[in-house]
Amino acid sequence: MKTIARSGMFILLMLISVEGMSGGETAKEVLEHIQKKYESISDATLNFSQEVTLSRIKQQQRGILFLKKENKYRLELERQTIVTDGRTVWSYSSLNNQVLIDNYRDNKKTLSPENILAAAPEDYFATLLGEEKLGGMNVVALKLVPKKDDGILQSLKLWVDDSDWLIRKAEIMDINEKSTRYTVERVKLNSGLDDSRFIYQIPADVDVVDLR
């Protein structure tokens, strides 16, 4: 059930605008701009690709993520859908033909957008890595490393388009050396997503496991 919070947090970081990065600003100041921009975002819809690498084995898939403030997420992957309205979490697997239902749990260690952005920059070492090329565009790379071991995240790297200051890609490295890269292909902000999107309608003829 932690998947939804982790995915939502990292992908949301990729759509947030970074203002004023040029002109010699520090990584700390960049994070403060990210926090300020996040406050102006009420909801978002993202189409993305994901690449997971562990021990040289790669897995790729595409998905769509709907986000709304107050811990509302809907993550639709090729074989899995995860939905939360901030109170209940539904996780549907087409391979298992099963829906798991549980209570949503939020605490300071949960990797949600609210928690990660509220913590930075106080809880993370941030470094500007310099300019790179990404898909023909000029980007600036930024790396975050937790000041304290949180048991999950080793580091987070962001690639920021220096023409519009949108974060185009993120790479998460966990404590098991598993690398997960998210690349945003399309994004729509503040479209007024209805709360009903974050309540999962359970399909007929599936196995339901209620963990509450």
Residue 145 resides in a domain? no
The model's pTM: 0.77
Q: Is residue 193 within 8 Å of residue 37, measured between CB atoms?
A: no
> Per-residue pLDDT tens for 166-180?
677 888 898 889 998
Q: Which domain holds residue 106?
A: 2-122+182-210
Q: Is residue 197 within 8 Å of residue 74, measured between CB atoms?
A: yes
- What pLDDT does 11 receive? 59
Q: What is the CATH number of the domain that holds 16?
A: 2.50.20.10
- pLDDT surpassing 60 at residue 45: yes
Residue 53 resides in a domain? yes
Q: What is the SS3 assignment for 188?
A: strand
Q: How many domains does the chain have?
A: 1
